[in-house]
């Protein structure tokens, strides 16, 4: 029996996400991805054109942020941190994106779009200076993802979920809703 085109394409996509997440853009080779998907490098090219487009397809990502305006104000920060943790864990995509973004301009562009536009849109309506607040939240949540899932810094990686929420929740909360500390 032979696989359908869509089946192989999906297998390639999954393998690509795993490789990009584990190795970054340049160390993830088409040959390795093809081998993981039990297929031939040439088929990868036929399905996705070239390595850049394969990455673009594998790293398609949306934060799927909840509507923050319907939440009780005091739970904002914790809810958001919890959401980020789940987004990191349920998928290899964010890890692939971050590992690649550090050396690949296309990946960096996508990160900018995600952590600037998407976050700023969600932050709008809570307080003024939505973009600045989105940037602050990005700095803390990306730092968490970097330390916990990419660099695997002992204390951060081993921290129980509840501890992360208890410490970072208030930080994100403040970034989103507190008054500008420089005003006045």
Provide the binding-site residues for DNA, judged by CB under 7 A: 1-6, 8, 28-32, 39-43, 45-46, 50-52
Site for its own copies contains 19 (CB under 8 A): no
The Cα 159–Cα 156 span in angstroms is: 5
Sequence-ordered list of residues with C-beta below 8 angstroms from that of 67, at least 6 positions apart, any chain: 122
Sequence-ordered list of residues with C-beta below 8 angstroms from that of 20, at least 6 positions apart, any chain: 28, 55, 58, 59, 92, 96, 99, 100
39 binds, among DNA, its own copies, none (CB under 5 to 8 A by kind): DNA
Of 15, 23, 25, 94, nearest in space to 55 by CA: 25
CB of 90 to its own copies, least distance (A): 20
Q: Are 40 and 3 in contact (CB under 8 A)?
A: no
Q: Are 133 and 127 in contact (CB under 8 A)?
A: yes
179 binds, among its own copies, DNA, none (CB under 5 to 8 A by kind): none
Tokens of 184: 């006045």
Task: Give the nearer residue to DNA in terms of CB position, either 41 or 170.
Answer: 41
Task: Give the nearer residue to DNA in terms of CB position, either 46 or 86.
Answer: 46
Tally the C-alpha atoms within 13 A of residue 148's C-alpha that lie toward its C-beta.
Answer: 19
- Give the residue carrying structure tokens 């790293």: 59
| Contacting residue, 30, 138, 149, 173, with its own copies by CB under 8 A | 138
45 binds, among its own copies, DNA, none (CB under 5 to 8 A by kind): DNA
102 binds, among DNA, its own copies, none (CB under 5 to 8 A by kind): its own copies
Q: Which residues bind to its own copies, rule: CB under 8 A?
A: 23-24, 26-27, 98-99, 101-103, 108, 111-112, 115-116, 120, 131-132, 134-136, 138-144, 146-148, 150-156, 159, 162-163, 166-168, 170-171, 174-175, 181-182
């Amino acid at each position: 029996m032979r696989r359908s085109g869509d089946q192989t394409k999906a297998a390639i996509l999954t393998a690509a996400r795993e490789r990009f997440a584990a190795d970054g853009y340049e160390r993830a080779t088409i040959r390795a991805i093809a081998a993981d998907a039990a297929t031939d490098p040439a088929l990868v090219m036929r399905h996705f054109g070239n390595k850049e487009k394969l990455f673009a397809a594998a790293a398609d990502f949306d934060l799927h942020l909840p509507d923050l305006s319907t939440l009780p104000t005091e739970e904002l920060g914790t809810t958001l941190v919890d959401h980020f943790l789940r987004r990191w864990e349920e998928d290899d995509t964010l890890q692939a994106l971050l590992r690649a973004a550090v050396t690949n301009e296309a990946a960096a562009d996508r990160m900018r779009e995600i952590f600037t536009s998407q976050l700023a849109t969600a932050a709008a309506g809570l307080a003024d200076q939505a973009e600045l607040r989105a940037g602050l939240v990005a700095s803390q949540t990306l730092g968490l993802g970097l330390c916990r899932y990419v660099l695997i810094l002992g204390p951060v990686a081993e921290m129980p979920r509840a501890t992360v929420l208890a410490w970072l929740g208030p930080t994100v909360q403040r970034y989103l809703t507190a008054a500008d500390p420089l005003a006045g």
